[in-house]
Amino acid sequence: MENQNQESAPSQPNQRLGSPVYELQSPFSNEQTQKRNRPESPQNESHDVSAQSAKRSRNANLPPPSFPQEIIVEILANLPVKSLLRFRCVFKSWKSLISDPFFINKHLKRIQSDPKFFRKRVLINTLRPRMSIRYSIKSFNLSDTYEDSIVNTTEIEYPSRDVSRHDLIVGSCNGLICITVGEYTVFLVNPTLRVFKKLPFLRFKDVRDCYTVYGFGFVASVDDYKVVRFFCYRRRKSDDYKAIVSVYSLSTNRWRRIPNSPFGVPANQPVRHANGTLNWSFFRGRDISSFTIVSLDLARETYEEVMQPCYGDGGAGERSLGVLDGCLCLLCHYRRSYADVWVMKEYGKRESWTKLVTLPYTQCPRSAYFGMPLFVSGSGEILLRFGMDLILYDPKEDMFRMPAIPDDNNTFICQAAEVYEESLVSPIIINQSA
């Protein structure tokens, strides 16, 4: 993996770019085309050598055939990232195109709108507990889980990786993954490009009874990525916690303090990104029924409470917060009977909360609790966590099945999981993109 930019100095401000103009050429020259189309026969072999040399000399002065720019752009925008990385070597103009912010954004939109989800991957925190404990962050093709094939995992590479340490997945956005190493070190990684960026060091004085929560998201209005750090600590002679909130901006490559949330400190749980906001759960005191959703608008850097759905006569049960297909999601447990999945289809509008599915515990293969849903296929089959594993639920057939995810010692424990897409977005050039 190459680290192409470790600077902590501020970068240049973003510049909005228009559609690039390139002279895009065919990978075949005229001479290659002639050789490919020339019939091989004894008659050809008897041609006068001097005549052929003269013909080649005339053809050498002709420009190679070219395709319209729009066609080449459309073809390349539909290709996987790994293919595009190889095609950078075909022409200098192709290399410039594939690295251009206009093309990167166009390619990203194609990936995100792909109905067959072949370019999406599942990111997982794993633990192998047998013999010596081994932690790792791995990924695999999302489509493999739905096709009854054996899932082949790939270990994510990043600096300071240590199998004896539990590094955490903060989140993913547009192909970038945010990973924390310990309490204070944060990386932004594009595992497909094998490129990473280490964020500037930020540390507070160690105190008792403290924890740190991170969030990662994208601000489309200013084309910037932000990491938010909540350093939560208990006040002296009190049961109340206080938070110090810091925001890192990729466009400036700097941390800065922002005001604390008026709703209290986040619970020590994942922070979720949706629609340019970070969202987390908050409990008033130790009352679980006081579950509240708080959001931070990453553009305005303001806080507000997110209204929850009307749960009905049955109440809400035990709740947890997630994101499903870019929408805020709630998982409500009703003991070991069933769990409801709610999705906010229009962010910020309470009336858009919709009950997606009810997950029955009666059909489960073993005793465990449902985790947050990760993905819903076109046929309605849902991939979600189940205890320490992943499981698929088909609501039409009311059936569960488990994808085959091998491990070195036939042991697989999923501690965290989410879906991300492979992209050309790089943490070291994103501040130059459109």
Average confidence (pLDDT) over 40-59:
52
Cα dihedral across residues 75, 76, 77, 78: positive or negative: positive
Average confidence (pLDDT) over 140-148:
86
Give DSSP secondary structure letters for 315-342: ---EEEEEEETTEEEEEEEETTTEEEEE
Span 58-104, pLDDT tens digits:
555 555 557 788 888 999 999 999 999 999 888 888 899 999 999 99
Cβ atoms of 177 and 273 closer than 8 Å = no
Please, which residues bridge with residue 230 across strands? Answer: 213, 245
| Integer angstrom CA distances of residue 399 from 225, 311, 364 | 39, 25, 8
User: Mean pLDDT for the chain?
Assistant: 80
> What is residue 103's DSSP assignment?
H
Sheet with 353-360, edge to edge strand ranges: 318-324, 327-334, 338-344, 353-360
Span 226-237, pLDDT tens digits:
999 999 888 777
Q: Could you give the count of Cα atoms lying within 13 Å of 212 in the half-sphere of its Cβ? A: 21
How many other C-beta atoms can be found within 10 angstroms of the C-beta atom of residue 160? 12
Question: In the prediction, which pLDDT does 411 show?
Answer: 54
293 burial (CB, 10 Å; 0-12 / 13-18 / 19+) is: buried
What is the helix (H) or strand (E) element at residue 108, kind and residue range? helix 101-112
Residue bearing the bigger pLDDT, 137 or 44: 137
**E strands in 92-237:** 120-128, 134-141, 154-155, 168-173, 176-181, 185-190, 195-198, 210-219, 224-234
Which candidate, 161, 33, 115, places its Cα nearest to that of 376? 115
- The model's confidence at residue 39, banded by pLDDT at 50, 70 and 90, is very low
pTM of the predicted model as reported, rounded to 2 decimal places: 0.80
Compute the distance between CA of residue 225 and CA of residue 220 in angstroms, rounded to an integer.
Answer: 9
Distance, C-alpha 71 to centroid of its chain = 29
